[in-house]
Structure 1
Amino acid sequence: MVELSVRPMTQAEYDEWIEGLARSFARSQVAAGNWAADDAITLARQGNAALLPDGPATEGMLLLKGVLPDGTAVGVAWIGLTHPRGNPGCAFLYDIEVDEAHRGSGYGRALLAAAEEAARAHGSKALELNVFGGNAPAIRLYETAGYDLVTQQMRKNLTNT
């Protein structure tokens, strides 16, 4: 396994990351048919602001930067130590991403393991996440990392049938 550790995200890193996160999440919500394109970026920004009112200093949130032993930053992980639906003892992985230039080298699996350890170190007994159904590489990563399917939401488009 690739050697990787996590450290808290700096304010400058947060400022760079948060807008890209909003844009990426907005695109994913539109592609999934959950949000209208015209509203998506606004909804994503509002959601992030509600969850992270104090940015990287927000209590109960871990905003982590994945770094290699030489200090090279390769990705980020965002963990909520309190589950959004109140599942006791269960943290929630809001975001995990490896920078595009570093994908395909095992850093995603290493970052996920480091994020799990960070949640465990803060007292979490489990870690849950959501993944879009069309994100096959992420689904494979989570399955092979030992994540079990706990809920499933399905949709059929009725306008094209």
Structure 2
Amino acid sequence: MSLTLQPMNAELFASWMRHVMGWYAQGKVEAGSWPEDGAVERALRENAEQLPQGLDTPHNDFFVGTVDDREVGYLWLYTDPAQTPPATAIQAIEVLEGERGQGLGRELLEAAEGWCADHSIQTLRLHVFGRNTTAINLYESAGFETTNVLMAKTIR
């Protein structure tokens, strides 16, 4: 059992992007960055600006993680062409709900690292919401280091 990355097709991209923007918006709300009212619409609007050509937007790569031809997760990578040396960011990474707890998140991370190595990318970055301790623990155990910390305090 070995995870491989396959390019995402347009149909899956459209449905997955709506899903991703929903959980991104919820993360922004829970982090106190956005009000709940209009959060999903804001995420969709920002996403449309970030991906003006959708799946075919340059410097963005979308993958389906598969094991034995079975979809187990998804990965979105963005490589900043202006950065020297080049760096890639994981924009979104997800293991399907029924597939979690089997080490597939780590395998998706390793596949992202392999993609970077194949494309002469020396740095892989990601963002994670502070309340997502499961993901933070995975990323730290995979060798990711904290490079920035954004903190907030509610004043009443």
Which of 110, 116, 119 is 1:122 aligned to? 119
Q: Distance in 2 between matches of 1:125 and 1:89?
A: 7
Q: Which moved more, 1:51-60 or 1:25-34?
A: 51-60
Q: Distance in 2 between matches of 1:109 and 1:34?
A: 28
Q: Distance in 1 between matches of 2:111 and 2:20?
A: 20
3-state DSSP of counterpart to 1:38:
coil
Q: Distance in 1 between matches of 2:84 and 2:123?
A: 10
After superposition, the CA RMSD in angstroms is: 1.5
How far apart are 1:78 and its partner, in Å? 0.5
**Matched ranges for 1:22-101 at <5 A:** 22-68=21-67, 70-82=68-80, 86=83, 88-101=85-98
What's the TM-score, normalizing by structure 2? 0.94
Alignment gaps of 5+ in structure 2: none
Aligned residues: 156
Superposition misfits of 4+ residues, deviation over 6 angstroms = none
Q: Distance in 2 between matches of 1:131 and 1:40?
A: 18
Q: Distance in 2 between matches of 1:88 and 1:40?
A: 34
Q: Distance in 1 between matches of 2:54 and 2:132?
A: 27
Query: Does the CA contact (< 8 Å) of 1:81 and 1:119 recur in 2?
Result: no
Identity of aligned residues (%): 35
Alignment gaps of 5+ in structure 1: none
Query: Does the CA contact (< 8 Å) of 1:79 and 1:119 recur in 2?
Result: no
